[in-house]
Chain A
Amino acid sequence: MKGTWLLQMAWRDSRRNPSRLLLFLASVILGIAALVSIYSVGENLNRQIEEQAATLLGADQEWITNRPFTPDEHQVADSLAEDISEEWSFASMVMFPKNEGTRLTQIRALAGQYPYYGQLETTPENAQAFLQSGKKALVDHNLLLQFDVQVGDSVRVGEVTFEIAGALQQAPGQTGIVATVAPIVYIPLQYLEETGLNQKGSRISYRYFLKLNKPEEADQLAEKLSDHWTHNEISIRTIKDQKESTGRMFKNLTNFLGLAGFVALLLGCIGVASSVHLYIREKFNAIAVLRCLGVTSWQAFLIFLIQIALMGLVGSMIGAALGTILQGLLPKLIADFVPFELKSTLSPFAILQGILLGVCVSVLFSLSSLLSIRKIAPLNVFRIQAEDKPGDNDPLRWWVYGGIVLFIVLFSYLQLGDWPTAFSFSIGVMVSFLLLAGVAALLVRLVKRYFPSNWGFVARQGLANLYRPNNQTLTMIVALGLGTMLISTLVNSRNVLMNEITASGGTDGNRPNMILFDIQDNQLEDLKKHISDAGLRTLQSVPIVNMRLEKVNGLTYTKAKEDSTESIRSGLFSREYRVTYRDSLLSSEKLAAGEWIGNYTPSTGLIPVSMEEEFARRNGLKLNDTLVFNVQGMPVTTQLRSLREVDWRGMQTNFILLFPKGILEKAPKFHVIATYLPTLEESARFQQYLVKNFPNISIVDLNLILSTLDKVTEKIGFVVRFMALFSLLSGLIVLLGAIISSKYQRVKESVLLRTIGASRSQILWINGLEYFYLGAMSSITGIGLSLIAGYLLAKFSFEAKMVVQFWPLAAVFLGITAITVIIGLINSREVVTKSPLEVLRQENG
């Protein structure tokens, strides 16, 4: 009976407090909605990755290498597969003859029926079939849009002009983001030779796509082949590998989004804690009466615990419902990052998680205030005991705080999957909240201490209102400040990154904004002449020789792979090195150790080479190691004589490995040239000339890179800002809650002022200023902390200079302040427009 009675009392007491309930609910709803939508998207992603993994790869196995497959390897493939497709892919310029537009693209020269699972999505449909019938190409649809080119027009790839058979909407495993950076052009493999782009030094990836005779054995076969081909440098991927790597990528994304949603929920919890605290204070007398009538302290505690838990349940259910609807939006938000069309379906598990979480946080964050109920004495019906406020010295409170910290850590671990990161995130969150609270408290204290007594009455009264009894100034500043801080940090970080990219690119004539590569030996002089004739300068001209590493201190690849204790990494031997030779260091390089020798003579001893210091350290190499390189079939013995610190961010041709002059001049090589083009028109003309006359040369245009990076960071930034918005909305709900809960007090104050003669406009100004101060203090707190966060991120994470742009931050300040004032005034209009007596009657029921 007692249990039923407690439930009855919880229900009875909650009926007459709709406004309190709404605010409590709203605090929970938003955070849970964010999390349920993210969990649902995560569930859908995992399920669809599972379902669509085959179409992501497009085959049972993908073999990748950086040199053509040998006949033996082809034979092995043939014996295992019922069908094989071959693809050669590389970066190259294309030109659209219609308007002579040029662009660096990813050329995929394909032969075979690939993809075996899924399809190349094209417009018109099945345009891929046209690749089998002549010189036809499929071009990324964004490229066609960009250059105003249609299906049926042509595209020039190297020396060959292809007819555009279709617009490529989606290739297996491709995301929108990647397509922005490297749009794809498919051509038939049989015409690649004719394009003239397959030259010595071209960086081509060679792929086999296998439809296996026994697809169920794909993974075991892959393992066997990898063991057998230890030195063949063939990487084999299966559908399982594709699933895992795609899953990992999205796990990171959903984890990040989940954490952002969690921050919004925590903010909502502040609202919950704050509103419950006030709620219980208002219930003080009623609880004392119940105690007089015979209710025990634990019964009283349970009545309100049940109330809070039920409200949390209702709020969570509404939040879960809203989240389920919202999850229809999130796929659109992350569409560019997903390699397939993400469909939204109901996720019961996500909904259940959200509801459980909502109830838990509602109870957990209310416990501290609820515990004080136990200390309310029946004698309080006569007076509040002055010497000891209930709950002040309750040791159970510390358990509650400990429980909250534990909850944050555990939840972070569930999101992030490892303890160190979970602890770091938890500490970061708690420190942020504490910092916010600390700075807010300091601001409030400073204003109080240096109260501007010489201001006019209205301005002073607005400021003094922030200190009224039971004020929630601190809570509101923290709530709004956190949302402000998140958004401002995003703005600052983006500025730092873009500035870093722009600054390293440079706009003056001494820093290159275009790099040409894959220049053959016999093209170099003609090209330099053209550059000169065009009134431009060759700022850098760098020869590049390809080579492979055969031995390190006598150690070969096989020995390095077998000996797990060996510090030299086996990966050193399987990559191709693009090396240059010169007699001096660039401005982007600094000698970190050893001796730089720019010119080789036989008396120097072994050929002295220089390596980038971080690369050497990572791969277990040190000074004076002996390195034997295979330079186009010829072994060349060298000694590591120096290590360099390289600044990779500049638009300069930096290298991991450097040879001195005097050795490689006669080796087969290609060249890279860096130049500067002052205007977009000159750049376009120059590129057109190059593509027509030197179609094998690829061009990296800084303007293009900057605009592409801008698009990419904007897309990423948009997703992040969207999640930060949840935090801001949570903060606004806390604000709304605080405003409504203090309404009666403000009514009384305003009524008193109006009774003694204050005009409506004065009351309006006082209220407006109160919210202005609140919004301003919140924004300043948030922006101030974001500048610190931005500085730390710039210094330690991006290793870049901190850049502060005034106007975006000013916009954030004005936006937050304006929203605070608007919300505050909307809720205060009754106080101003109605007569004092009417208002008092209404408030007293």
Chain B
Amino acid sequence: MQGLFFYLFGTVAVISALLTITRRDPVTSAFWLIFCFLNVAALFATLSAHLIAVLQILIYAGAIMVFFLFVTMFLGKEKRSAERPNPVVFGVGVLTVGAIAGGLMRLVRSGSHDFGEVGPEHGTIEAVSRLLLSNYLFAFELTGLLLTVAMVGAVLLARREAKGARATRTPAGAPSGPAGVEEVADA
């Protein structure tokens, strides 16, 4: 049963990942990427990594993709990348992916790995939070500081655009930012 779900979600994830990189329209790509993330989340869930499955949906399919779509639609879709990919880059990409995939296949087939068995409770929310608040307490608390830094930085940079929009005198030759951003700052 688990095998069936694995192949189902795995196949769909790979197909939607391929569609993500082959669609011309960035918005279409983004939606395929969301679909890919959802399938990966389902894979996590079948591995009883509940917390990661939930985070995958909340953060990747939710927050990051909404942000991504917002920026894409906001900047306008007129600049679609119409040109074909550079064949050299394409070839190198295919070779690299092939090499990594081949290496992973060999590793799995050879059986010379000891990932170790984990119980069904291994990835539950309770197990992960226990780890976060014991072994990784310091890193967890430090993440709070990291978020504070990001917030202070965002305030600093965002306020700059707002000021640029209102300033009567902008330095010569230095536009204070893309016009669209200033409109938002004014609003």
A and B form one complex? no
Spell out A's residues near B (CB within 8 Å).
none
